[in-house]
Amino acid sequence: MPILKFPPLVQADENGLLAIGGDLSIDSLLLAYMHGIFPWPINDEYPLAWFSPDPRGLIELKDFHLPRSLKKFLKKCDYQITYNQAFKEVMLKCQELTNRTDQDGTWITEEILKAYHDLFLAGFAYSVECWSDGELIGGLYGVKINRYFSGESMFYRKENASKVVLYSLCQKLDELGVEFLDTQMVTPVVASLGGREMDRDEFIKRLQSAIARPLESDF
């Protein structure tokens, strides 16, 4: 049964943990993202966990920073970028990356794989793929609701592929009139491209504004 309501965000703990349990139906996922909440399973043996961290990580597209080294790399590399051409493959590669031997399983469980693929088929998820000589060497998948975009996970197999993916996505979002990319947290890669943290209350205001404005065109 779809989740009907989440607790108030102020009830999240210091790690952003807000709720335990529930399902990953399309309706439940959309309800979560529309309120600044996302699922982050610990592993297959624990109940589903829902998070809303404070502060929140994001990239303001107007403040996007293209490092000089990446600019030089882009001029000489032969990488090709596509959108929504290999969604499931990107998720599987991300799952492999998060299932390293130094970690206790992966948060991209089989349940997560199915749920986000269903969301993709319903038109609320997307993927960005990076290719070299026909090989998938990098990618990112996430959730989109009108002008709101949330990056969920990404992977790379060759030099700078994840940065090229993020750069290409931010360019595309800017062309579409999107103001920011929700990164949930600020990783070193996100920080290198201008990512920063924002108070959750301010983030929610921006989120609600983005959701209320449909895109004139899509990927």
| Distance, CA of 32 to CA of 112 (rounded, Å) | 14
Residues 46 and 141 grouped into a single domain: no
Tell me which residue range forms the domain holding 29: 9-51
Q: What three-state secondary structure class fits 30? A: helix
Q: What is the pLDDT of residue 101?
A: 40
The number of CA neighbours under 13 Å toward the Cβ of 77 is 20
Q: What is the pLDDT of residue 100?
A: 47
Residues 138 and 36 grouped into a single domain: no
Residues 20 and 120 grouped into a single domain: no
**1 assigned to some structural domain:** no
Q: What is the pLDDT of residue 97?
A: 78
**218 assigned to some structural domain:** no
Q: What is the pLDDT of residue 193?
A: 92
Residue 102 pLDDT more than 50? no
Residues 22 and 101 grouped into a single domain: no
Tokens of 155: 């992977």
Residues 20 and 35 grouped into a single domain: yes
208-218 in b/e form (b: 16+ CB < 10 A) is: eebbeeebeee
Tokens 């609600």, residue? 208
Residues 81 and 152 grouped into a single domain: yes
Average pLDDT, the chain: 93
Residues 93 and 118 grouped into a single domain: yes
Q: What is the pLDDT of residue 105?
A: 52
**15 assigned to some structural domain:** yes
Query: What pTM was computed for the model?
Result: 0.92
Residues 131 and 148 grouped into a single domain: yes
Q: What is the pLDDT of residue 47?
A: 81
Residues 186 and 91 grouped into a single domain: yes
> What are the C-alpha distances in Å from 126 to residues 11, 44, 122?
30, 24, 10
Burial of 91 (0-12, 13-18, 19+ CB in 10 A): buried
Residues 60 and 140 grouped into a single domain: yes
Total count of domains within the chain: 2
Summarised one tens digit per residue, pLDDT across range 149-202 is 999 999 999 999 999 999 999 999 999 999 999 999 999 989 999 999 999 999
Tokens 């609701």, residue? 145
**183 assigned to some structural domain:** yes
Supply the Cα-derived Rg of the chain in whole angstroms.
Answer: 17
**2 assigned to some structural domain:** no
